[in-house]
Structures are given as structure tokens and as C-alpha cells.
Amino acid sequence: MRAAYYAGKHAIEVGPCRPVDAGPGQVRIRVSHCGICGTDLHLYHGHMDHRVKLPQVIGHEMSGTIESVGVDSAGWREGDRVTVRPLDPCGSCPACLAGHGHVCMKLKVLGIDEPGAFQALWTVPAHTLHRIPDGLDLAHAALIEPVAVACHDVRLGELKAGEFAVVLGGGPIGALVASVAREAGARVLVSEINPFRVALLGRLGFDVVNPRESDLTAIVNERTGGAGADAVFEVSGSEPGAAIMADLLRVRGRVVLVAVFSKPVPVNLHRFFWRELRLIGTRVYEPEDFDEAIRLLASGAQPFTELITGVYSLDELQRGLQEMERGADVMKILVDCGS
């Protein structure tokens, strides 16, 4: 079988790989599709080399079919269509003991701290599995993981029907957050600077503003009768996003922090004080977010699958990363791991 390896900064190698037997409490999955995540791009840039063992198979947004089942994996059998919630918490740190294992203080993320899914056969702990419903296409099911991120963000942001939400950053996660927020009944405005993404989101029915061309704050105030937005999802990870996020909110509004900021950035804390705003940090997902993501994808309620702009072979993984890197006309790229 074959796998795509991260082999060091800017280097992806595709080559043979020896399948790992499913041990106790494990299953081996024949991987169907695996999406390329922003985190994979971050890995590719060498920013997470302290967490990987080179060369390492990466990838964690996947779908597939169980190929073999180890002992002590009750409830699962060969042929089951599954996706993986790629988190392996320690179970004993203060975060785990408090019931927040998804942000375990020693969390192992499959595809980062452990081998990932850009390979034909992937062996994982059975406790990470979620079942894919019959009606959901396996390629589309590779979106479950990023949709679960969006479900987590909208849930922790306590977004309610009728509220006005601004999504700063209309890349794959921003687009999914906007979709889940719309499904929750919110009015959604997306702020995005990439023309391809602006156009794509516009075709999907979103109200999209390019903040380099329009006054975002003025537009939000206009849309909300001068009150400000109920919630802002900061998904851009940019200094301008961090600088403006608080200014867009109504009194007691919420910033839902989704993006990964690699260094401290200036934040208008005065506005948090003045309007009694809240900021809610969010990271990955909990099991219920996977359940909700599966339900939403299976329902077909939102055009999630329209965000897939390409399905590449394993050999084309590096091409996909390069396209994402240069801001090409792409949104979500999947890799067909069976190809």
C-alpha cells in the first residue's frame, strides 16, 4: 500500500507503507477520502516539526470503511463506514478529569502527534470512531471533521435563531462556520478578501463583504440598526481581524475565537470593558459536535459539499498544499486515498 509522508519543510513524499495490524481496542480502516486542513499546511511549512517524527503520514479529515477489527473493539465490524474523531486524550490530566478531554493537557492528535490518514490503510483506536450514515457519500463524509469544528464553534458561541453573526475569514472553516450559523437560524455576514472565495460564498447565498473595499464596521452597524452584531467568529487569524473583532459587537456580544494566532496580537480590551463583551476560545470538537456534523451533512440542509473545489490523488497532495499556500482559486481540497 501507499502513503503520503511529510518529510520535512516543504517536502511531501509518496511511497510504500507497511499496514499496521489492528491491536487491542483498535480498528484498521480502508481510507476513502481525506481533506487537506489548514493545519496540514502549517505542518508542511515546518511550524510543527517539534510534534512530528519524520517522515510521518499526516492527514486527519477522513472517511473510510473498516477493514479489520482488533480484540476489545466491541460494536465495530468489517465493512462499517466510519470517520475518525482524531483525538487521543490522556484521561488523567486536570482537563480530562474535569470532562474536557478534547483539550487534554497532553492531547495527542492523530495525523499530527501520531500517523495520519493520507494512506490506504489507517489503524486507529476504536474510541475515535463515528458511524457514517448509509445515505452519505464517502467523499462528502470527509467533511465531517471540519464541519464538527464549525458545530463546536457555533455551539460554544451559543448562537441563537435570529441573531446577527459576522464571520471574519471565509476560507474552508469560515465557510463552514457561516453555513452552520445559517442553519442555526442566524443572519450571517462573511468578511473575506480572496476574490475567488468571495464569489463562491456569494453563489452559495451568503452576504459577503471584502473589508479592503468596504467599511465592515459601518455595514454591520447598518445591518443591525446601530446595535452591532450578536456574535463575531474570528476565523481569519489575522491582525486586522483581531483588531476589529470587538468593534463589530453589540453590548454583551460574543467573539468566538476559532483561528490559531501564532503570536500575541493587539486587542481592543477597552471595547470589551465598555460593552461588556465576551471572548470564547474554541478548539477542535467534542463527540456531540461530530454527531451534529454527521446529522447536518446527511440532511443536505446546507451546501457544504459545494465547498469541495478539487479531489486529488495521493500523488497530488503536495500540489494541493502548494495551491493553498499561494492562495489559489481553491476552497476545500480532498485527497482520494484509494486512488
- Interacting stretch for its own copies, rule CB under 8 A, among 70-78, 164-172, 197-205, 267-275? 267-275
CB atoms within 10 A of CB 139: 16
Is residue 33 close enough to count as binding its own copies by CB under 8 A?
no
**Residue 234 CB, nearest approach to its own copies (Å):** 8
Quote the CA–CA distance of 258 and 93 in Å, as a whole number: 24
* Cα torsion through 162, 166, 172, 173, rounded to 10: -80
- The verdict on 266 binding its own copies (CB under 8 A) reads yes
Rounded distance between C-alpha atoms, residue 224 and residue 164, angstroms: 7
Counting contacts by CB under 8 A, is residue 280 touching its own copies?
yes
The reply on whether position 283 binds its own copies by CB under 8 A is yes
Nearest to its own copies of 112, 156 (CB atom): 156
Interaction of residue 229 with its own copies, rule CB under 8 A: no
Written as nine digits, the cell of 62 is: 477522513
The alpha carbon of 239 is separated from its chain's Cα centroid by a whole number of angstroms, namely 21
The yes or no reply on residue 272 touching its own copies (CB under 8 A) is yes
Among 162, 281, 300, 327, contact with its own copies (rule: CB under 8 A): 281
Exposed (0-12), middle (13-18) or buried (19+): which is 280, by Cβ within 10 Å?
A: middle
Q: Which of residues 70-99 bind its own copies (CB under 8 A)?
A: 94-95, 98
Q: Is 305 marked active-site?
A: no
- 54, 162, 273, 327: which one binds its own copies (CB under 8 A): 273
252 lies in the binding site for its own copies (CB under 8 A): yes
C-alpha cell of residue 139: 467523499
Asked if 218 is part of the footprint of its own copies (rule: CB under 8 A), the reply reads no
Question: What span, in angstroms and rounded, lies between the C-alpha atoms of 302 and 95?
Answer: 34
Q: Which of 10, 33, 39, 305 is catalytic?
A: 39
Provide the minimum distance between the beta carbon of 257 and its own copies in the complex, in angstroms, as a whole number.
5
Select from 36-44, 73-81, 202-210, 243-251 the region that touches its own copies (CB under 8 A): 243-251
Coil, helix or strand for 261?
coil
Q: Give catalytic status of residue 127 as yes or no.
A: no
Q: How far apart are CA 142 and CA 98, in angstroms?
A: 30
Q: In the numeric block, which cell numbers belong to residue 231?
A: 456574535
Cell of 27: 480498528
Among 130, 278, 291, 322, binds its own copies (CB under 8 A): 278
275 binds its own copies (CB under 8 A): yes
> Which of 147, 151, 120 shows the shortest CA–CA distance to 61?
147
Catalytic residues: 39, 42
Please report, as ranges, the residues that interact with its own copies according to CB under 8 A: 94-95, 98, 100, 103, 105, 156, 225-228, 242-243, 250-252, 257-283
